[in-house]
Amino acid sequence: MIMRKTLNAVVLAAASLVGVAAFLYPFFFPQPSETAQGMLSHSNDAPFLFIILMVFCLGMVLSNLSSGQMNSKIIAVLGILTAVNAVLRAVPGPAGFAAVFFLPILVGYSYGATFGFLLGALSILVSALLGAGVGPWLPFQMFATGWIGMASAWLPDMQRRPRLEVAVLTVWGFGWGFAFGAAMNLWFWPFVFDPTQTALYWQPGIGAIETLKRYAAFYVVTSLWWDLGRAVGNGLLLLLFGGPILRLLRRFRVRFQFEIQPV
Amino acid sequence: MFHPIAWLLWLGAAVLPVMLSQNPLYVGIVCLAAGIVYMVIGRYSPLAQSWSGFLKLGLTIIALTVPFNALSVHAGRLVIFTLPRTWPLVGGPITGEAVIFGASKALSLFTLLLLFAVFNCAVDQARLLRWTPAFLFEAGLVTSIALTFVPQMLRSMQEIYEAQAIRGHRFRGIRDLLPLFVPLLTSGLERAMQLAESMETRGFGGSLQSLSPRREVLVRIAAAVALLGLVGGFFTVTYFREGQTLSWTLLVLSVTALTLVFRIQSQRVRRTRYRHGVWHRQDTVLAAISVGLAVIILLIRSWARVTLSYYPYPPFSPWPPFNPVLGVALTVLVAPAMLAFPQSQMTNDQIQVSND
Amino acid sequence: MIEFENVSYSYAGSEIPVLRNLSLTIPEGDFVLVIGASGAGKSTFLRCLNGLIPHFYGGTLGGQVRVMGCNPAHEGPRKMARHVGFVFQNPEDQFVVETVEDELAFALENYALPQATMRKRIEEVLDQLSIAHLRHRAVSTLSGGEQQRVAIAAVLTLQPQVLVLDEPTSQLDPQAAEEVLDALLKLNRDLGLTIVLSEHRLERVVQYADHVLYLSADGESPVFGEPTEVMIRVPLTPPLVTLGKALGWAPLPLTIKDARRFVRQLQVPDYKLPVEPATSLQQPATSDQQPVTIEAEDVWFSYNGHEALRGVNLVIRAGEFVAVMGRNGSGKTTLLKHLVGLLKPQQGRVVVANHDTRHVSLDEIIARVGYVPQNPNALLFADTVREELDFTRRNHRLPPVDYAPLLRTLSLEALADRYPRDLSVGERQRVALASILVADPEVILLDEPTRGLDYRQKEALTAFLRAQKREARTVVMTTHDVELVANCADRVIILSDGQVVVDGPVRQVMTDSQVFASQVNKLFRDARFLTVEDVLG
């Protein structure tokens, strides 16, 4: 059992590493050593290759998480929660805010990492199939939302101190609001790159520090305000509803007698 | 309609040139082809009939990208006018190159959206889900349960809203969501219990088996190593000119290992499929065309890389180069519109019956 | 062949056994009806038949269960699925995939059967349950009766010898219930399938059963035997059987046809033939002097192209108890929603307590009118029953009050601090009632209040509604339940296709109607006799 858990964790860690790499590749770009012409045509492949990588990675994680641990109860509960979360995402909030992290955070925190990851990733897929549309961004969104659910399981269990619990979850959700936005912009940022001396765009070979600076500028200009809305929205939802929904989820955990191993 | 797999191949072949090249001439051809296909499948899918929404979206993208690019990039020789240099960010010459490049970016983005829209309309999601590979069976089942539950949930949302409204509940602030959301989630979880029982009584419990512990250990190690190999391969292929053979070998090995892992993991699902989508002659043609096009593009990319690239700013010409071979090749993407099925073959998923 | 030998079972974490030393033998091809109040262990008994107990629920199981030569406790639900098909209460909650045909294939795919076999079996069950025309439909678009037949078909594909159904019709209207029961009878008759069915509506099935199993919630020992023999020993029975027992009819009649024989033999002291219909019977319970509470004038309403109400006219006076009846889709619920202002007439007007619903806010109407929706689950969300009542009071901006009297009338006082979702269907229904009545409305609207209730719960509800009538509250309810109407209502309105076709005093309407008549009334065809009480005095 312990062996299996460890191995599960190793695969998840490897896949996450690949995922992080696929998100962050602009930061690792080496210095150019050749003509501008060659560099230029070459760099165009990167976004495409990393989308393929992401798809592979996602398949691996989904198949690993589900293999051998799923029984009918877990599948049914996941299916229902996924539907609820996909519909939540479709409910329009102010300023384009969608409550898509609220449930994965709470479910990841109370039912465990596997549950959190699968709920996050699959609810994005379902909402895409329901009409939000399938597109090249889909694997990135699935991965990022899955991570949020998974990472929420790593918070210490604070069931004994409900006020602290809600406070921590609120801050956690607020933080993820920004982190998600920053990560999601990365998938297309290099794709819209502009090979001139502008302060906002990625260029091949500018090095990690410079990339980081430019990305920060790009992020502040384009996405910060959206993400602020998302962060505040998530924080607020967790602050107001975190307590009652957690109580509900815990009640049902007893009823379902989940025997899912934590990762 | 075509088989989902045939559509998937078509989508891959169409996305490839758009993502590898920003050249507006090639992208334009793809866009035109996708538009024709979109119109033709509109006959079968009501989703595909709304052009106005799509055109609006396209115009919005152009309206956002072109001024943004023109105002933020000041390189180029074709100066249209000059803004005072003291203005932050937007100050400087506004150039034709920047306008052209902005427009070509908008075109790429729009084409990508259009391609996926065609795919979304043409492929029935339930049909696509049936093609979930066996190693993703559980994930596919969760998705299917969710999709089945959504209409029921929307109905119960309405019911809950009314029930609380006549109890005096009003939506005044975000806090008032709770009396709506909690009954919804609770009823959902109660339903999950019933659903699990129902699956159990229909023999679900045994269709999933665990691998033997030894195999499982091996599979997981292989999976981890293959994933790391894959990322290593991608990095070295993308960023280093030297040692390309080695990188490619690494990539090929990793992909093989992953495929093997997927295969082994598929074996643990002991199920059969009721439906086998019918693979028509037209599907073969479409698949062959798509794969052929992808091969041509990849060959051009490795031997005549420059053909694909486009860079309007000095020292290069602002006008995109055009390779007629590639241009003609790209026109085959209209194939789904040309290979349209006769009406009698339109039934979904006929079932092949063996004569026994 | 199903054998129970000294079977006892208690759920995990509970000391009290639900089943105690149960022994019985069910012959092959039998149609067995399982009855008893909620909480008596009907579901538990049924789940022992296919191994869901103990495999899904845990707990402690003692004794021996044998079904078709297998021991379900050893084999587990998966292996048992080939012998025992199991269908649940709510058809919608059983579906895994979107279309009917895929749903039927699910079990076969789980057993990895070859495609040709699957194809053959699916065609067979499509015909057996007459659902071939539904094969390409999405399950969510089907009616309740169709859904339940699909659910039955989905387990029959594995060709089990026993079919077990846990209250399969309790969530359905009478028409749909009829459809499902007819299908079951046909399966039992034509295929010799053993059927074990738990059911509240005895009047509809008891005459078809070969055996009846009665389980008691109060720890009495279970009774198993021929229907008439069990009915004599069971406290809560359909009105016809209750009457037969009271008058000492033997053998106990289970159908109107059998009972007619006894009516003909009745002597004058027991039963007087009316010389002419008494004029008092024609009068509604309240006189025309009472003020008008609800008035609908030429109300029209349509939902996306479907005309639900077509020129409804209605006057309801204070203190009246009105039952709105009619088949599914006749506009009953739409009418009720108009009376509380949830829907506004598209043409015509509705005046409730002197407010035209088109011109006042919902708040002003609900201060006077309470509406209890069909599904109590749509309402209940708080952690305790008490908080549920607090929520309503707060919404109505009413000061807190002592809930004890209200809870006592609904026999909920012991449950005030329980989690509402842990309660039984009947208890939830009463909590929903309480959470509406706590605002003290003058008018009470009820939508299908007896759905899913057993006889005992129905009796409690009837008593409660009669008390409301005595307190001169105006009550309007939609229902399919003729016995409830016979027991409580003064006046019946029958809707058909969005129009009022009948509006009159309950005794007159029931006597005139073949369909909307209570069992006792059907038996005597006399306006003086609607309920057992009317006959026995």
Q: How confident is the model over C308-319, as pLDDT tens digits?
A: 999 999 999 988
**Angstroms from B1 CA to nearest CA on chain C:** 17
Question: What is the Cα gyration radius of chain A?
Answer: 20
Q: How confident is the model over C18-47, as pLDDT tens digits?
A: 888 899 999 999 999 999 887 788 989 999
Q: Which tokens belong to B9? A: 């191949």
Alpha helices in chain A (DSSP H): 2-24, 36-43, 45-66, 72-90, 102-111, 113-127, 138-152, 162-188, 208-222, 224-256
Does pLDDT of C323 surpass 50? yes
Does pLDDT of A26 surpass 80? no
Mean pLDDT, to the nearest integer, of C438-456?
88
One-letter amino acid for residue C158 of the chain: L
Cross-chain Cβ contact A87/B213 below 8 Å: no
Contact B196, A72 (CB under 8 A): yes
Does B94 reach chain A within 8 Å, measured CB to CB?
no
Per domain, the residue ranges of chain A are 2-27+44-256
Cross-chain Cβ contact B193/A73 below 8 Å: yes
Does pLDDT of C268 surpass 90? no
Does pLDDT of A57 surpass 60? yes
Transcribe C368-422 into DSSP letters.
Answer: TEEEE-S-GGGT--SSSHHHHHHHHHHHTT------HHHHHHTT-GGGTTS-GGG
- pLDDT category, B343, cuts 50, 70, 90? very low
Cross-chain Cβ contact B203/C93 below 8 Å: no
Q: Is the dihedral of CA C405, C410, C414, C416 positive or negative?
A: negative
Q: Burial letters for A89-115: b for 16+ Cβ neighbours within 10 Å, e otherwise?
A: beeeeeeebbbbbbbbbbbbbbbbbbb
Higher pLDDT, B118 or B87: B118
Specify if C486 maps to a domain: no
Does B147 reach chain A within 8 Å, measured CB to CB?
yes
Q: Which ipTM value was assigned to this complex?
A: 0.86
Provide the domain limits for residue C49.
2-235
One-letter amino acid for residue C114 of the chain: P
- In chain B, the percentage of residues whose pLDDT exceeds 90 is 14
Q: Which tokens belong to C44? A: 């538990």
Does A247 reach chain C within 8 Å, measured CB to CB?
yes
- pLDDT category, C17, cuts 50, 70, 90? confident
- pLDDT category, A262, cuts 50, 70, 90? very low
Backbone φ, ψ for residue B238 (5° rounding): -75, -35
Of A244, A251, A257, the CB nearest to C58: A257
- In chain B, the percentage of residues whose pLDDT exceeds 70 is 86
Does pLDDT of A197 surpass 60? no
Residues in chain C: 537
SS3 B133: coil
* Best of B141, B143, B201, B347 to mutate (most C CBs within 10 Å, chain C): B201
Contact A235, A173 (CB under 8 A): yes
Cross-chain Cβ contact A122/B74 below 8 Å: no
Beta strands across the sheet bearing C474-478: C369-372, C443-447, C474-478, C321-325, C491-496, C499-505
Contact C357, C365 (CB under 8 A): yes
Mean pLDDT, to the nearest integer, of B44-61?
68
| CA pair distance A152, A169, nearest whole angstrom | 9
Mean pLDDT, to the nearest integer, of C389-393?
91
Contacts of A80 in chain B (CB under 8 A): 145-146, 149, 188-189, 191-192, 195
What are chain C's partners, defined as 3 or more CB pairs within 8 angstroms? A, B
- pLDDT category, B312, cuts 50, 70, 90? confident
Sequence-ordered list of residues with C-beta below 8 angstroms from that of C323, at least 6 positions apart, any chain: C477, C478, C479, C484, C485, C488, C489, C491, C492, C493, C506
Backbone φ, ψ for residue C70 (5° rounding): -110, 160
Higher pLDDT, A217 or B155: B155
Q: How confident is the model over B206-238, as pLDDT tens digits?
A: 666 777 778 878 888 888 888 888 888 877 776
SS3 C26: strand
Q: What pLDDT is attached to residue B315?
A: 66
Least confident span in A249-263, C31-45, C411-425, C513-527: A249-263
Q: What pLDDT is attached to residue B347?
A: 44
Q: How many domains does chain C fold into?
A: 1
Higher pLDDT, A209 or B147: B147
| CA pair distance C483, C238, nearest whole angstrom | 9
One-letter amino acid for residue C238 of the chain: P
| CA pair distance B54, B72, nearest whole angstrom | 27
Where does A2-27+44-256 sit in CATH, by number? 1.10.1760.20
| CA pair distance B120, C232, nearest whole angstrom | 64
Cross-chain Cβ contact A17/B101 below 8 Å: no
| CA pair distance C275, B228, nearest whole angstrom | 97
Contacts of B173 in chain C (CB under 8 A): none
| CA pair distance B25, B18, nearest whole angstrom | 11
The strand pairing partners of C446, in sequence order, are: C372, C477
Sequence-ordered list of residues with C-beta below 8 angstroms from that of C120, at least 6 positions apart, any chain: none
| CA pair distance B126, C117, nearest whole angstrom | 23
Does pLDDT of B320 surpass 90? no
Burial class (CB in 10 A: 0-12, 13-18, 19+), C174: middle
Q: Which tokens belong to B222? A: 């292989």
Q: Burial letters for C98-108: b for 16+ Cβ neighbours within 10 Å, e otherwise?
A: bbbbbbbbbbb
In whole numbers, what is the pLDDT of chain B averaged over residues? 81
Does C419 reach chain A within 8 Å, measured CB to CB?
yes
Q: What pLDDT is attached to residue A106?
A: 95
Q: What pLDDT is attached to residue C309?
A: 93
Q: What pLDDT is attached to residue C186?
A: 93
Sequence-ordered list of residues with C-beta below 8 angstroms from that of B266, at least 6 positions apart, any chain: B133, B134, B135
How many CB atoms within 10 Å of residue C419? 16
Cross-chain Cβ contact C112/B178 below 8 Å: no
Chain A to chain C Cβ contacts (< 8 Å):
5
Alpha helices in chain B (DSSP H): 4-20, 24-41, 51-72, 96-122, 125-129, 137-165, 178-200, 213-239, 244-267, 281-303, 305-308, 324-330, 335-338
Cis peptide preceding C227, ω within 30 of 0 = no
**Angstroms from A160 CA to nearest CA on chain B:** 22
Q: What pLDDT is attached to residue B93?
A: 82
Does C335 reach chain B within 8 Å, measured CB to CB?
no
Backbone φ, ψ for residue B321 (5° rounding): -75, 160
| CA pair distance B180, B171, nearest whole angstrom | 10
Beta strands in C188-257 (DSSP E): 194-198, 211-214, 223-225
The model's pTM is: 0.85
Q: What pLDDT is attached to residue C162?
A: 95
Specify if C412 maps to a domain: no
Does pLDDT of A5 surpass 80? no
Q: Is A262 left (phi over 0), alpha (psi -120 to 50) or beta?
A: beta
Backbone φ, ψ for residue C382 (5° rounding): -80, 175
Binding-face residues of A in 125-164 toward C, CB within 8 A: none
Q: How confident is the model over C352-382, as pLDDT tens digits?
A: 988 899 998 888 888 889 999 988 888 888 8
Q: Is C219 left (phi over 0), alpha (psi -120 to 50) or beta?
A: left
Q: How confident is the model over C204-263, as pLDDT tens digits?
A: 888 889 999 999 877 788 899 999 999 998 887 889 999 999 888 888 899 988 898 888
The strand pairing partners of C477, in sequence order, are: C323, C446
Q: What pLDDT is attached to residue A45?
A: 65
C-alpha A221 chain-centroid distance: 22
Does A67 reach chain C within 8 Å, measured CB to CB?
no
- pLDDT category, A190, cuts 50, 70, 90? low
Domain of C92, CATH number, reads 3.40.50.300
The strand pairing partners of C503, in sequence order, are: C493
Q: Burial letters for C35-65: b for 16+ Cβ neighbours within 10 Å, e otherwise?
A: bbbbebbbbbbbbbbbbbbbbbeebebebeb
Q: How confident is the model over A93-150, as pLDDT tens digits?
A: 665 567 788 999 999 999 888 889 999 999 999 888 876 667 777 888 888 899 899 8
Does pLDDT of C125 surpass 90? yes
Report which of A180, A200, A178 is spatially closest to residue A190, judged by C-alpha positions: A200
Specify if C75 maps to a domain: yes
Contacts of C398 in chain B (CB under 8 A): none
Sequence-ordered list of residues with C-beta below 8 angstroms from that of C407, at least 6 positions apart, any chain: C385, C413, C415, C416, C434
Q: Which tokens belong to C112? A: 């990895």
- In chain A, the percentage of residues whose pLDDT exceeds 70 is 70
The secondary structure of residue C138, as a DSSP letter, is B
Q: What pLDDT is attached to residue B98?
A: 82
Q: What pLDDT is attached to residue A39?
A: 43
Contacts of C383 in chain A (CB under 8 A): 244, 247
Sequence-ordered list of residues with C-beta below 8 angstroms from that of C185, at least 6 positions apart, any chain: C31, C208
Cross-chain Cβ contact B139/A118 below 8 Å: yes
Specify if C158 maps to a domain: yes
HEC-encoded secondary structure of C466-515: HHHHHCCCEEEEECCCHHHHHHHCCEEEEEECCEEEEEEEHHHHHHHCCC
Does C158 reach chain B within 8 Å, measured CB to CB?
yes
Cross-chain Cβ contact A251/C58 below 8 Å: no
- pLDDT category, B344, cuts 50, 70, 90? very low
Pairing, β C19-26 against β C2-10: antiparallel
Does pLDDT of B109 surpass 60? yes
Alpha helices in C49-173 (DSSP H): 52-55, 72-80, 100-110, 115-128, 144-156
Q: What pLDDT is attached to residue C306?
A: 87
Backbone φ, ψ for residue C71 (5° rounding): -105, 105
Question: What is the Cα gyration radius of chain B?
Answer: 26
- In chain C, the percentage of residues whose pLDDT exceeds 90 is 42
One-letter amino acid for residue A199 of the chain: A
Q: What pLDDT is attached to residue C296?
A: 92
Backbone φ, ψ for residue A186 (5° rounding): -60, -30
Contact C225, C212 (CB under 8 A): yes
Specify if C128 maps to a domain: yes
In whole numbers, what is the pLDDT of chain A averaged over residues? 76
Of C92, C112, C375, the CB nearest to B272: C112
Binding-face residues of B in 189-228 toward C, CB within 8 A: 190-191, 194-207
| CA pair distance B200, A70, nearest whole angstrom | 13
In whole numbers, what is the pLDDT of chain C averaged over residues? 87
| CA pair distance B250, B244, nearest whole angstrom | 10
Q: What pLDDT is attached to residue B58?
A: 78
Binding-face residues of C in 374-403 toward A, CB within 8 A: 383
Q: Which tokens belong to B122? A: 């043409």
- pLDDT category, C273, cuts 50, 70, 90? very low
Contact B164, C394 (CB under 8 A): no
